[in-house]
């Protein structure tokens, strides 16, 4: 009887007459742990945010989308190869920007040189290929900083700084601060809502949000699992090499990140500002745009299984600011794990948030979840605006004591 009552209450929370924000907050209320003298026990429920470039843009309107980020100037690359070599190898000129399609071709050519040594030209070897790849990554970091500065970690304050946040940023912070209060583990097994993150972005926006949701003397590094265990975090030994389940949330960067550096078979997280020359010598793990994406790097083999498990363990999925283009087949595969079969999707809800319209959003997700058209599973709820507006609307329904 109790289970039937719970199912009925959940169905009531998803009222088609309600707005997307109201429906989401109803689900938050439904899955949150309960206070009081005799609360009804609830399990731990994953609300997973799959964040694309639109998530960062909601936080910072200057944040670049893919075409902007991958339009780079050759001056950083010329630190490795002169103009003549660039022209012979790739047809590049020092006077022109490298356009996204050119970058895809360059990365593809480097990948082929690494994969098939027999096709390398006379003066290409393992060392200069590594240097050239480092230069491309340095150019992308430099390009991001030209468009909008990366929010580097403040070692003195031991925080990601946030000075004079905008109204939009305050709304997003309030939204995640509210969700942060919806879980409890003090009485035994954790129950309530756990927010999780999977992102295609390289930047530090999610880290900044998570760090500033916490108290000024606390740090996200104690509670955030990256899919791998870094041996060092911002120049200090990792303070939490093994996490406790009731405390930790995931932040999985499926395209790598500006802060992820390799140390042999290990990794460190370096959120400091580095010069292009430093980045060329010690490049971050980044999956750059290419004609054929090569995910053979050990980092991706480590993180991808964590993404698959998390998606399968998720009850409410929020796709934020990501258009899910058809050529991103691997990303669609990951999202498909949320509800691979019709039976998996029953009882699950996916929110698709970003500019557009209901029809196009449903058409895209019906390609990802074929059962959605026949079974309406998982249930789709759309929001055709930015995530900042969605967060602000959600806060209207939040308990004012927690916002």
As a whole number of angstroms, the distance between CA 128 and CA 262 comes to: 18
pTM for the full predicted model? 0.92
pLDDT of residue 123: 83
Buried b (16+ CB within 10 A) or exposed e, 13-44: beeeeebbbbbbbbbbbbbbbeeeeeeeebeb
For the segment 138-149, the average pLDDT, to the nearest whole number, is 93
For 17, residues 6+ apart whose C-beta sits below 8 A from its C-beta are: none
What's the CA dihedral at 159, 163, 168, 169 to 10 degrees? 0
Q: Do 206 and 172 touch, CB atoms closer than 8 A?
A: no
Each residue's pLDDT tens digit, 78-107: 888 777 777 777 776 655 788 888 889 889
Each residue's pLDDT tens digit, 273-285: 999 999 999 999 9
For the segment 260-279, the average pLDDT, to the nearest whole number, is 95
pLDDT of residue 145: 93
Each residue's pLDDT tens digit, 27-54: 999 999 877 655 666 788 999 999 999 9
Mean residue pLDDT across the chain: 89
User: Is pLDDT of 226 > 50?
Assistant: yes
Confidence of residue 402 (pLDDT cuts 50, 70, 90): very low
Confidence of residue 304 (pLDDT cuts 50, 70, 90): very high
Higher pLDDT, 47 or 76: 47
pLDDT of residue 39: 63
Distances (CA, A) of 338 to 242, 301, 304, 367: 26, 19, 14, 14
DSSP 8-class letter at 41: P
Query: Which stretch of 107-111, 293-297, 352-356 has the lowest confidence by average pLDDT?
Result: 293-297
Q: Tokens 């003298």, residue?
A: 37
Question: Which is it for strands 224-225 and 249-253: parallel, antiparallel or unpaired?
Answer: parallel
Q: Tokens 């980020």, residue?
A: 69
| Structural domains of the chain ordered from first start | 2-63+151-402 (3.40.50.1220), 66-147 (no CATH)
| Residue 184, number of CB atoms within 10 A of its CB | 17
Each residue's pLDDT tens digit, 373-392: 888 899 999 999 999 999 99
Confidence of residue 167 (pLDDT cuts 50, 70, 90): very high
Q: Do 320 and 387 touch, CB atoms closer than 8 A?
A: yes
User: Is pLDDT of 403 > 60?
Assistant: no
């Amino acid at each position: 009887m109790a289970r039937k009552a719970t199912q009925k209450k959940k169905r009531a929370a998803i009222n088609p007459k309600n707005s997307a924000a109201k429906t989401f907050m109803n689900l938050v209320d439904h899955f949150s742990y309960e206070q009081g003298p005799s609360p009804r026990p609830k399990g731990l429920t994953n609300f997973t945010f799959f964040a694309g470039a639109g998530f960062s843009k909601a936080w910072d309107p200057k944040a670049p989308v893919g075409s902007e980020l991958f339009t780079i100037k050759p001056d950083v690359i010329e630190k490795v190869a002169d103009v003549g070599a660039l022209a012979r190898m790739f047809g590049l000129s020092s006077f022109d920007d490298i356009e996204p399609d050119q970058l895809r071709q360059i990365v593809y050519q480097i990948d082929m040189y690494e994969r098939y040594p027999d096709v390398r030209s006379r003066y290409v070897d393992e060392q200069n290929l590594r240097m050239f790849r480092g230069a491309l990554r340095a150019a992308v970091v430099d390009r991001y900083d030209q468009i909008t500065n990366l929010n580097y970690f403040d070692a003195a304050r031991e925080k990601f700084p946030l000075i004079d946040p905008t109204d939009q940023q305050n709304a997003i912070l309030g939204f995640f601060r509210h969700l942060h209060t919806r879980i409890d583990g003090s009485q035994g097994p954790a129950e309530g809502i756990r927010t999780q993150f999977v992102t295609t972005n390289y930047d530090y926006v999610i880290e900044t949000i998570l760090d500033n949701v916490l108290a000024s003397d606390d740090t996200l590094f104690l509670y955030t699992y990256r899919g791998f265990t870094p041996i060092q975090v911002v120049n200090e030994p990792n303070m939490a090499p093994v996490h406790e389940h009731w405390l930790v949330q995931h932040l999985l960067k499926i395209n790598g990140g500006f802060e992820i550096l390799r140390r042999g078979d290990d990794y460190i997280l370096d959120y400091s500002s580095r010069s292009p020359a430093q980045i060329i010598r010690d490049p971050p793990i980044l999956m750059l745009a290419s004609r054929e994406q090569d995910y053979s790097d050990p980092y991706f083999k480590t993180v991808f299984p964590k993404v698959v498990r998390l998606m399968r363990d998720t009850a409410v999925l929020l796709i934020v600011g990501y258009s899910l283009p058809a050529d991103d087949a691997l990303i669609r595969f990951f999202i498909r794990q949320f509800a691979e079969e019709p039976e998996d999707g029953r009882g699950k809800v996916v929110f698709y948030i970003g500019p557009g319209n209901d029809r196009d959003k449903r058409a895209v997700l019906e390609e990802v979840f074929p059962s959605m058209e026949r079974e309406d599973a998982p249930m789709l709820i759309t929001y055709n605006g930015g995530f900042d507006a969605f967060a602000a609307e959600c806060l209207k329904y939040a308990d004012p004591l927690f916002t």
